[in-house]
Amino acid sequence: MKVLVVFGTRPEAIKMAPIVKEMQKRTDFEPVIAVTGQHREMLDQVLEIFQIQPDYDLNIFKAGQSLTYITTGALEGLEGIIKKERPDCLLIQGDTTTVFSGALAAFYQEVKVGHVEAGLRSHNLYSPYPEEANRRLVSVLSHWHFTPTEKNRDNLLREGVDPKRIYLTGNTVIDALKYTVQKDYQFEESLLNGLDYENKKVILLTTHRRENIGQPMKNIFSAIRRIVDENPQVEVVFPRHKNPKVRELSDPYFQNHDRIHCTEPLDYLPFTNLMSRVHFVVTDSGGIQEEAPALGKPVLVVRRETERPEGVEAGTARLVGTEEESLYQACQELLTQPQAYEAMAKAVNPYGDGHAAKKICDALVGEK
Ligand code: UD1
Ligand code: UDP
């Protein structure tokens, strides 16, 4: 089966990598890899770690790119590749603009679409923005729907998707995690090797969502700054997304603080190993909400709603919103109430058993 695997951003690359690896070791697949280059450095970091060499690279990235620019650049570029390769399936993962453009480009060429991580819904079209719209639009255009959880499958059934086309596979992010986290991992970054994970309380922070840019991010940074100032045993590691707005907004709160460490985006290997060592995580990321429960780390989700309620129900994730006070209180609770902390710090795996890539490949060849 000839599969055109399309991705463009960091999280898509991480979650597609196990599928690419699975296809490459089997004889029943001919994978062709096309990256849009919606992200540049953050995508290349992942390609290098998983040693994936794209057959095509549209290289559309430009600083300050608009949604329209990404959509049209990817759509036009992918058209040529699809016409040349004539794949049996175009495979996409997630909810980014690359994903939407990929599905649309395939639809226009009458190529069947396989959607990995299908069926996630926040039920608010504007949050996450534009991802909630992307994932709904992609569901309409897809032939195969690979859902991580039963809730995701139920969302699709409610929208009238044919049950025969839905495959419950788990999330490939759990497959990827199996290869990266090691007990005796040594960081190359001296900062991360030097942190006292046993005696200090290290908080890992990430934030990049479009709807959080502006006042919500200021609230988050202000709460974290108060937490650090009031708790001398706390250290914060903040690998900053490449979006310059995240830097501009955080600098006034975090610059030159000896216990707040702002870094470049970390490679996937050190990032996941760092996550496995910290005390807890504060994030608005989708993928990190899935990884933290698997690693037994409490995660405070700085968003108003989540399309990943499974972690919240399992007790390891808490949706705290983007008000300063609510994040401050939630952090204080985890830092000062051992029982509250222990209740959240348990390893659960609502997002898969680590065999999603194989299940996806089997489903694809099982029914062309
Ligand atoms: C995109 C996805 C989002 C996903 C996120 C993962 C869309 C609409 N959004 O958001 O769903 O959660 O990726 O990280 O598809 N930049 C760089 N170098 C890079 C990457 C980004 O400099 O390697 C900067 C650029 O200034 C760019 C900005 O970040 O303009 C935003 O990048 P963009 O891909 O438009 O959106 P993200 O916020 O990264
Ligand atoms: N990640 C990484 N380095 C970082 C921050 C995150 O490798 O500095 C990984 C993380 O482990 C997860 C993925 O990137 O697998 C999440 O990507 P991101 O938060 O950018 O996007 P989202 O999941 O919100 O779409």
For the segment 296-351, what is each residue's pLDDT rounded down to a tens digit? 999 999 999 999 999 999 999 999 999 999 999 999 999 999 999 999 999 888 99
Does 199 score more than 60 pLDDT? yes
Shortest-distance atom of ligand 2 to CA 14: 15
Q: Is the Cβ atom of 66 under 6 angstroms away from ligand 1?
A: no
Per-residue pLDDT averaged across 136-160, rounded? 98
Tell me, what's the pLDDT at 183?
A: 87
Bigger pLDDT: 208 vs 178? 208
- The 8-class DSSP code of residue 265 comes to P
Atom 17 of ligand 1: nearest residue by CA position: 242
Bigger pLDDT: 178 vs 344? 344
Atom 31 of ligand 1: nearest residue by CA position: 243
Q: Which residues contact 329 (CB under 8 A, 6 or more apart)?
A: none
* Rg of the chain taking only CA atoms, in angstroms: 20
Q: Output the six-digit token pair for 264.
A: 């470049």
Shortest-distance atom of ligand 2 to CA 94: 25
Does 104 score more than 50 pLDDT? yes
Atom 9 of ligand 2: nearest residue by CA position: 268
Does 264 score more than 50 pLDDT? yes
Answer for the pair 262, 238: CB distance below 8 angstroms, yes or no: yes
Q: Is the Cβ atom of 291 under 6 angstroms away from ligand 2?
A: yes
* Torsion from C-alpha of 62, 250, 327, 260, nearest 10 degrees: 120
Confidence of residue 367 (pLDDT cuts 50, 70, 90): low
Confidence of residue 160 (pLDDT cuts 50, 70, 90): very high
Tell me, what's the pLDDT at 81?
A: 98
Q: Is the Cβ atom of 39 under 6 angstroms away from ligand 1?
A: yes
Tell me, what's the pLDDT at 368?
A: 45
Per-residue pLDDT averaged across 56-72, rounded? 98
- The 8-class DSSP code of residue 125 comes to T
Give the span between the Cα atoms of 297 and 289, in whole angstroms: 10
130 CA distance to ligand 1 middle (Å): 12
- Write the burial class of residue 197 (CB in 10 Å: 0-12 exposed, 13-18 middle, 19+ buried): middle
Does 53 score more than 90 pLDDT? yes
Of all residues in the chain, what percent carry a pLDDT higher than 90? 96
Atom 1 of ligand 2: nearest residue by CA position: 268
Q: Is the Cβ atom of 128 under 6 angstroms away from ligand 2?
A: no
63 CA distance to ligand 1 middle (Å): 9
Atom 12 of ligand 2: nearest residue by CA position: 287
39 CA distance to ligand 1 middle (Å): 6
Answer for the pair 61, 34: CB distance below 8 angstroms, yes or no: no
Mean pLDDT, the chain, integer = 97
Bigger pLDDT: 112 vs 368? 112
Does 215 score more than 50 pLDDT? yes
Tell me, what's the pLDDT at 179?
A: 82
Pocket test for ligand 2, best of 268, 283, 289, 303 (most atoms within 8 A of CB): 268
Give the span between the Cα atoms of 197 and 277, in whole angstroms: 6
Task: Please give the backbone phi and psi of residue 258, each rounded to the nearest 5 degrees, phi first.
Answer: -75, -10
Residues annotated as catalytic are 95, 117, 131, 208, 210, 241
Per-residue pLDDT averaged across 192-216, rounded? 97
175 CA distance to ligand 2 middle (Å): 15
Per-residue pLDDT averaged across 30-38, rounded? 98
Per-residue pLDDT averaged across 235-263, rounded? 97
Pocket test for ligand 2, best of 122, 271, 276, 289 (most atoms within 8 A of CB): 271
Q: Is the Cβ atom of 286 under 6 angstroms away from ligand 2?
A: yes
Tell me, what's the pLDDT at 307?
A: 97
197 CA distance to ligand 1 middle (Å): 30
Q: Which ligand is nearest to the CA of 128?
A: 1
Q: Is the Cβ atom of 266 under 6 angstroms away from ligand 2?
A: yes
Does 178 score more than 70 pLDDT? yes
Q: Is the Cβ atom of 301 under 6 angstroms away from ligand 1?
A: no
Q: Output the six-digit token pair for 134.
A: 């992307």
